[in-house]
Amino acid sequence: MSHARFEDWQLLDLAPGAELAEVNRALHFRRSLYQPGALATYNLLDEDERLRMLDRIDEAYRRITGNEPPRSPGPRPVEPVEETGLQGEGEVGSPPDPRTAPGAHLRFQRRARGLSLEQLSAVTKIRTSLISQIEAEEVDQLPAAVFVRGHVLQLARALGLADPNELAARYLAKVRLD
Amino acid sequence: MIEEIQEPTETGPRVWAIGGGKGGVGKSVVAANLALAVARTGARVALVDADLGGANLHTLIGIPSPKRNLSDFIARRVASLNEILAPTPFDNLWLVSGAKALLETANPSFGQKTKILRHLASLDVDHIFLDLGAGTSFNVLDFFLAARRGVLVVVPEATSVENAYFFIKAAYFRKLKRAQPRARVKAAVDEVMRGDARQRVRTPRDLMAQVMAVDAEAGAALMEEASTFSPSIIVNRIERSEQTRLGDEMGSACRDYFGINLRCLGNLPYDALVRRSVDERRPAVDLFPQSSFARAVRGAAGTVVGQPVEAVG
């Protein structure tokens, strides 16, 4: 129970020092509260606020447990099959390694949150085809590095990933190397 | 601004304002049944019809529209407030027709609203249930806030939840505007919203934390004001077991977002007998005391009076 602050416990509505099982239950409850389409928070938050709330919840969990939050077992909205790339790569099961496959990592994280390209595009204002190209690491389709860096940062933030800067750096290193 | 008409420790009736959001979620039916269930615990109860859109509590109780109403008292056409308490077929339960008084003054001033509530609070009863009707007009919000015990009725449907949050937001911000000293609080809020900290303000709860950082006194004033805003919720027409979680979930979401406590007073099941009781012009609590709805209402009444209510045999 490492760097947790009082607010972290508060955010999960737990007494400081609660058992891990309780923390896990609280994580599950609060995540489900902020899933897209959850009735109990219907239209309380806009999309950006909702994603940030999920991000905060995961952050609090990380600080409390020192672990990555487990993936929620709950059902996810079905996502339409997408056009390009990466079919079969990191589809289900083990998450892709952000260091070696930053694009696939972005796609995996987006899907894990039950977000469609359209929904993520609505939040980030990045067009869906470009998000898809970034996820697929389609090097020859991508704009200049400075834009790519900005887009990856934005996507990572919208998804509430732990270290957007690190991911953007990895991404640029990868697409340049390829 | 209108004053809150009582502290929980004060003597005098407890005023429960039932309102919030959408029409057609069963506010009046809930108000009538809850009032009767509370009256049957032995407490004296006045049910006040303040629904400007359609005052029809008398029909739900099964009596003609009361001849005397609140405006008669305000206009001094009756000597005592007790003259406007219309008896009902039920012990300990009286009906007050209040909507006309509100209608006659199309847009009652704060002073008039305060006066109306003061009069009501001087009724010789233990509980007052104020049926506010739908909508989020300032009138409804002010009565909801002034009653201190605001109760929102929702049904497990997206439109109802959406309306409830719209209502809570409107009431919450109207409440915060009253934080004193007003100029200083406003200055602190403006400072936060102009500065870099603005990025970190995603919810009203964040706003308060940031105001606290720039001006601790203003922040404390806001928190003080927010802490006295703790509406309750009743979830009506529950059809599936997972819907019983809605009230508590909305409570959690309100805590996260507004930093307020939203207590769930009760979960009332969908029950076809409720419709029949409305047709019969008798509250379901009286006509079908063993129905699932009536049982659940008695549970909520127990929460209202602060002790469990035994089932009527």
Q: Residues B174, B32: contact at Cβ < 8 Å?
A: no
Q: Report the residue of chain A nearest B250, measured CA to CA.
A: A40
Q: Residues B145, B136: contact at Cβ < 8 Å?
A: no
| Better-scored residue on pLDDT, A156 or A113 | A156
> Are residues A42 and B252, on separate chains, in Cβ contact within 8 Å?
no
Q: Is any Cβ of chain A less than 8 angstroms from the Cβ of B212?
A: no
Segments of chain B scoring below 50 in pLDDT: 1-8, 311-313
- At residue B52, the pLDDT reads 65
pLDDT > 70? residue A88: no
> Are residues A43 and B156, on separate chains, in Cβ contact within 8 Å?
no
Cα–Cα distances in Å, from B86 out to B34, B50, B68? 18, 15, 8
Residue with tokens 């009653």: B147
pLDDT > 70? residue A143: yes
Q: Residues B96, B46: contact at Cβ < 8 Å?
A: yes
| Better-scored residue on pLDDT, A80 or B133 | B133
Residue with tokens 């919810």: B203
Q: Is any Cβ of chain B less than 8 angstroms from the Cβ of A46?
A: no
User: In which band, very low, low, confident or very high, does the pLDDT at A84 lie, cut at 50, 70 and 90?
Assistant: very low
- At residue B191, the pLDDT reads 86
Q: Indicate the fold that domain B14-154+271-305 takes in CATH.
A: Rossmann fold (3.40.50)
Q: Write down the domain spans for chain A.
A: 6-65, 102-177
What is the rounded distance in angstroms from the CA atom of residue B280 to the CA atom of residue A53?
48
> Are residues B246 and A30, on separate chains, in Cβ contact within 8 Å?
no
- At residue B252, the pLDDT reads 92
For residue B242, which residues of chain A lie inside 8 Å, CB to CB? Answer: none
The interface residues of chain B toward chain A in range 77-136, judged by CB-CB distance below 8 A, are none
> Are residues B253 and A40, on separate chains, in Cβ contact within 8 Å?
yes
Query: Exposed/middle/buried for A94, CB within 10 Å: 0-12, 13-18, 19+?
Result: exposed
**CB atoms inside a 10 Å sphere around CB A118:** 10
Q: Report the residue of chain A nearest B159, measured CA to CA.
A: A42
In this predicted model, what pLDDT tens digit does every residue of B127-156 receive, in sequence order?
A: 999 998 777 777 788 888 888 789 999 999
The interface residues of chain B toward chain A in range 146-185, judged by CB-CB distance below 8 A, are 156, 158, 161-162, 165
- At residue B99, the pLDDT reads 66
In this predicted model, what pLDDT tens digit does every residue of A51-62 receive, in sequence order?
A: 888 999 999 999
> Are residues A44 and B253, on separate chains, in Cβ contact within 8 Å?
yes
CATH class belonging to A102-177: mainly alpha
- At residue A80, the pLDDT reads 44
- At residue A85, the pLDDT reads 38
* Tokens, residue B275: 């419709």
Residue with tokens 């009230």: B247
Task: In chain A, count H helices and then E strands.
Answer: 8, 0
From the CA of A165, how many Å to the nearest CA of chain B? 18
Identity of the residue in B156, B245, B257 whose CB atom sits nearest the CB atom of A44: B257
For residue A30, which residues of chain B lie inside 8 Å, CB to CB? Answer: 252, 256
Q: Is any Cβ of chain B less than 8 angstroms from the Cβ of A29?
A: yes
Mean pLDDT, residues A148-158: 90
Q: Write down the domain spans for chain B.
A: 14-154+271-305, 158-268
Mean pLDDT (chain A) is: 81
The complex scores an ipTM of 0.79
**Residue B180 carries which DSSP code?**
S
- As a CATH number, domain A6-65 is 1.10.287
- At residue B254, the pLDDT reads 93
In this predicted model, what pLDDT tens digit does every residue of B11-62 receive, in sequence order?
A: 789 999 998 767 888 999 999 999 999 999 999 999 998 876 667 899 999 9
